[in-house]
Amino acid sequence: MTRRLPVWLAVLAFAGACLAPLSVHAQESKPGPKPIVPDNWQGDALRPKPDMKGIETIRFITDSDYPPFHYYDEVGALTGFNVDLAQAICEVLEVECQIKATNWNDLIPTLDRGEADAAIASIRITAEALKAADFTSRYYATPARFAARKDSELDDIRPETVEGLKVGVAKDTGHEAYLKKYFPEAAIATFDTSEDAQKALKDGAIDLVFGDGITLTFWLNGVTSESCCEFRGGPYLDSSFFGEGVGIAVKKGNRKLAEILTYGLEQVHASGRYEELFLRYFPMNFF
């Protein structure tokens, strides 16, 4: 299962970022008085409620070190976007809700052992993840983005405008594969980690960096970037390279529960509760 951001980067998420409507190669959204909540919902909020027979409690598990998605607050209570979303799902399904934290690497094994029913921990729906678990429809997706130094004059990001420019990217990732296919004339520089690529951009060793929009947002708004850089062009969305988005995982084969939770997600979205949670936890834009 693909690991998310390192903890020291995730802490910067309180600066946050909010999803905007999904469109491949759309222009960067201009700041406005209110962030735009993602227009990327998958599902049908008008379909009948699934059969809930035998389901009185849903036992959710999550991680505890990925703010603002899930973390312990100042009084030691587990909280965050994923935690509040799980509670909202239980409310619309009219079931008791239990939410506990476990180690990231133990999320799927905990489901397999039957010690929990669902994992809501910003798990990406990828081909690898689908081998280990079943998923609801996605409840958010993140784009790939380019970032450049603020003193760079490059504003128009196209294959021909980046020809010969040094573009940093983490090796063996969907982002590297995407660059090779759609920006083949760029001088692609691979790095062991996205953090190494970001440092190279800050130091002026490369012209651009290409990577996950959330990761880059945390870095751009954090102390390690020293306000060196900013987004240019994009966003870019392609499920064949970047995955289908993030969903709630259930034990492999438990499609009934996946469908019930998808219904719950649809109802939370239709009621406006999803928008309320997103605006609370993600006041800035990574699209």
Model confidence pLDDT, tens digit, residues 62-103: 998 888 899 999 999 999 999 999 999 999 999 999 999 999
Average pLDDT estimate for 191-216: 96
Q: Is the pLDDT of residue 175 over 60?
A: yes
Q: Is the pLDDT of residue 181 over 90?
A: yes
What is the Cα–Cα distance from 248 to 81, expressed in whole angstroms? 13
Closest CA to 15 of 67, 85, 70: 67
Q: Is the pLDDT of residue 105 over 90?
A: yes
Strands (DSSP E) contained in 33-127 are 57-62, 65-66, 70-72, 78-79, 96-101, 118-124
| Cβ-based neighbours of 179, under 8 Å, separated by 6 or more | 167, 169, 186, 188, 210
- Say if residue 68 is preceded by a cis peptide, omega within 30 of 0: yes
Average pLDDT estimate for 147-169: 96
Choice among 15-29, 75-89, 199-213 with the minimum mean pLDDT: 15-29
What is the Cα–Cα distance from 99 to 247, expressed in whole angstroms? 16
Which amino acid, residue 240? S
| Cβ-based neighbours of 36, under 8 Å, separated by 6 or more | 18, 19, 20, 21, 29, 285
Closest CA to 225 of 282, 164, 149: 149
Closest CA to 16 of 37, 41, 30: 37
- Give residue for tokens 């935690």: 83
Q: 14 and 31 in contact (C-beta within 8 Å)?
A: no
What is the Cα–Cα distance from 26 to 100, expressed in whole angstroms? 38
Residue 86: DSSP 8-state: H
What is the Cα–Cα distance from 104 to 56, expressed in whole angstroms? 26
Average pLDDT estimate for 180-206: 97
Q: Where are the alpha helices (DSSP H) in the chain?
A: 7-10, 81-93, 107-112, 127-132, 174-182, 194-202, 213-220, 239-242, 255-271, 273-281
Residue-level pLDDT at 180: 97
Choice among 17-26, 121-130, 274-283 with the minimum mean pLDDT: 17-26
What is the Cα–Cα distance from 97 to 52, expressed in whole angstroms? 14
Average pLDDT estimate for 238-248: 89
Average pLDDT estimate for 144-171: 96
Average pLDDT estimate for 115-142: 93
Residue 159: DSSP 8-state: T
pLDDT in tens, 216-229: 988 998 899 999 99
Q: Is the pLDDT of residue 241 over 70?
A: yes
